Chains A and B, each alone.
Chain A
Amino acid sequence: MSVSQAGQAGSFNEFFHRTNRRAYVFALHLSGNREDAMDILQEAYLRMHRRWSECEGEAKAVAWLYTIVRNLALDHLRRRARRAEAEIQESILSSSADGPERAAAREELSRRLWDAIRKLPAEQREILLLRDWHGLNYSEIAQVLGLSLGTVSSRIHHAREKIREAMEDYLR
């Protein structure tokens, strides 16, 4: 289930369980640090919990959560000198369902892809991951990042073109 679908009916507790893993990864991608990501996550859910009753239906809850996580991560980054890329690299996993050879190949491909994504300008990387990994639609992304739909569409397109160029050898 995508995160977008997570914000359907249910209590805050259910919402927390459905969204926390993806929200954590989003916080980790932004902050680059596991401890910071956990702090951000805790603070984000606490803020949401305090005002959960004001949430008009849960459909917009995911975009709300991501907006809070993003703003908190930016606050953390302002306080820190730089992101810790190594911790994100370490957190990429291969699928345990594959055999050893296939798993190694998949892991290699994942690392190559992640390298290509990592080299994107920050604003393109963030938007690409929000769309393709977190599963947010364009209007949710526009809300989270405070951008117009046209800008969201254009950035996603440019990001994908760059990834395609970087992964050319693996696609043929």
Chain B
Amino acid sequence: MTAERHEEIRRMLSAWLDGELTQVEEQRVRVHLEDCAECRRACEDMARLQEMTRSLRFAGPGEDRMKEIEKSLMVQAPRRLGWLFLVGGLAAWLVYAAVMAARHWRPPTVEELIAGAVVIGFVMLLVSVLMERVRQLRYDRYRRIQK
């Protein structure tokens, strides 16, 4: 057996252990291992080390902090729904108000002007938050990650 062939098989040992070779490559490695004691030993060592690495135990995260994360995730769903209702409701209300104003036009009362100012202020704040979110999304490094 040539040294090149031996080296080639040697490089395939890890992938063989991980079940990542094609059927043909697997067969080649298997045949080689039957004849080569050195590679057999290397393979056994790697398998043992792999098992040892797998059984390494690391301390997990603190339970309290994990519960905190879980809670923060739980509020996400209602928050999204809340935004949907808020934006949808506001848009519908503005359209309705515009249609009514066009149909029955008359000078607004002081109360209506004050209420209008509050609504305009609220809408502007909402738009600024939405614009900020859209701006962040443009620079979000993770949005193109394949899911």
Closest to B42 in A: A164
Known: A51-B147, A138-B15. A164 touches B49 (CB 8 A): yes
Given A16-B70, A132-B53, the answer on whether A164 and B60 have CB atoms closer than 8 Å is no
- Collect the chain A residues with CB atoms within 8 Å of residue B52's CB: 109-110, 113
Residue of B nearest to A91 (CB): B59
Distance of A145 from chain B, by nearest CB (Å): 13
- Asked if B109 is at the interface (CB within 8 A of a chain A CB), the reply is no
Neighbouring B residues of A47 by C-beta, 8 Å: 142
B56 near A71 with CB under 8 A, answer no
Whether A137 sits at the interface, judged by CB under 8 Å, is yes
> How many residues of chain B have a CB within 8 Å of chain A?
38
Please indicate the chain B residues that have their CB under 8 angstroms from the CB of A49 in the complex. Answer: 73, 76
**Which A residue sits closest to B143, measured CB to CB?**
A51
> A50-B76, A160-B14, A171-B45 given as contacts; is B59 within 8 A of A60 (CB)?
no
Complexed CA–CA distance, A65 and B138 (Å): 20
How many contacts between A and B, using CB within 8 angstroms? Answer: 120
State which of A12, A20, A131 has its C-beta within 8 Å of the C-beta of B61. A20
A48-65 near B? 1/0 per residue, CB < 8 Å: 011100111000110010
Docked pose: A63 CA to B53 CA in angstroms? 20
Would you call A160 and B46 a contact (CB within 8 A)? Answer: yes
9 more A-B contacts (CB under 8 A) besides A61-B147, A157-B11?
A38-B62, A45-B69, A46-B73, A64-B147, A93-B59, A113-B52, A132-B54, A133-B53, A156-B14
